[in-house]
Amino acid sequence: MADTAQPMAVALDSATVAFRVAGDRVYTAVEKANLSVAHGEFVAIVGPTGCGKSTLLNVAAGLLKPAAGSVKIFDQPLTGSNRDAGYLFQADALFPWKTAIDNVAIGLEIKGAPREQALQRAHGWLTSVGLGAFANRYPHMLSGGQRKRVGLAQVLIRDPKILLMDEPFGPLDAQTRQIMGNLLLELWNADRKAVLFVTHDLEEAIALADRVVIMSAGPSARIIGDWRVKLPRPRDISEVRMEKDFHELHREIWGVLKDEVMKGYVQSTQAVGAG
């Protein structure tokens, strides 16, 4: 990436994340990660299970503090939680006691927006994620895919400059994932935010992102590869997979990723055996 005058939306500089486990032992999840996301850039992080992808995302979100290294958001060192970022979680993160529309409106209400206005805009966002008719449903009355849509609206209504996504479509079935992927691209196309998208699905990563970053298996996971995806936009997730360039890139990245996935798999089975 060429250096431009514009500051990077997210810049991790040799960020190391370590946890204290069982007394004095320290588990290093991520070691010296350098990662930057330009303004308006869609970056996907792919790695084997348990490699610390989500850890890295939590560092960018300010939910975790790196043990060493620095995190800068638009050139400012990050302290506390990242106010410029919206975070879409893998697990259900909606407030179960609020209706869909209240879940979306809350982001504005806590900023002090009048309730009427917040509800009106929330309805607009629910409509743009295709849930205009479900405003008064509670989360448990919605399907997994619908809950993700509400989550997306909840995050986007605050108009964050950075979007952090932690395997957001992981729990969904294959068809719903494609639909959600296309919805995400459509919304992102409207006003390009910087996106950091964590997934274990390489195909999904290539189909969505401008850049694909590969992490090695943990512990002490590192970033071991960085590819540019030159597929034209706008893309359709299911069609882009048919293209020749897609396959070539997939083969190239998979060549690197495969070994790490196997390592990660062996480690995870050992960890289960030991635990």
Number of residues binding to another protein, judged by CB under 8 A: 28
* 251 touching another protein, by CB under 8 A: no
Q: Is 178 in the site for another protein (CB under 8 A)?
A: no
Within 188-247, the residues that bind another protein by CB under 8 A are none
**254, 219, 200, 174: which is closest to 90 by C-alpha?**
200
Residue 44 or 155: the one with the smaller Cβ distance to another protein is: 155
Residue with tokens 């479900």: 134
Go through 195-208 and write b for each residue having 16 or more CB atoms within 10 A of its CB, e for each that does not: bbbbbbbbebbbbb
From candidates 10, 55, 59, 89, binder to another protein by CB under 8 A: 89
Position among 85, 131, 195, 202 found at the interface with another protein (CB under 8 A): 85
Please, which of residues 41-80 interact with another protein by CB under 8 A?
61, 63
Residues 110-149 that bind another protein (CB under 8 A): 110-111, 138-140
Minimum distance, C-beta of residue 157 to another protein, in the bound complex (Å): 9
The binder of another protein chosen from 65, 83, 233, 258 (CB under 8 A): 83
What one-character-per-residue DSSP string does 212-230 give?
EEEEPPSSSB-EEEEEE--
Q: Which stretch binds another protein (CB under 8 A): 107-115, 171-179, 226-234, 260-268?
A: 107-115
Give the residue with the Cβ less far from another protein, 163 or 214: 163
Residue 103: name the closest of 63, 61, 60, 146 by CA.
Answer: 146
Minimum distance between the CB of residue 3 and another protein, rounded to whole angstroms? Answer: 29
Which one of residues 93, 179, 187, 231 is an interface residue with another protein (CB under 8 A)? 93
| Span near another protein by CB under 8 A; candidates 65-73, 86-94, 127-135, 215-223 | 86-94
Residues in the chain: 275
Distance (Å, rounded) from C-alpha 115 to C-alpha 96?
19
SS (H, E, C) 42-68: EEEEECCCCCCHHHHHHHHHCCCCCCE
Q: In terms of Cα–Cα distance, which of 42, 85, 9 is closest to 204?
A: 42
Residues 95 and 104: their CA atoms lie apart, in Å, by: 10
| Cβ-based nearer residue to another protein, 52 or 264 | 52
28, exposed or middle or buried, with CB in 10 Å at 0-12, 13-18, 19+? middle
Binding to another protein by residue 25, rule CB under 8 A?
no
**Nearest C-alpha neighbor of 104 from the set 132, 74, 63, 77:** 132
Residues that bind another protein (CB under 8 A): 61, 63, 81-83, 85-87, 89, 91-99, 106-107, 110-111, 138-140, 154-155, 158
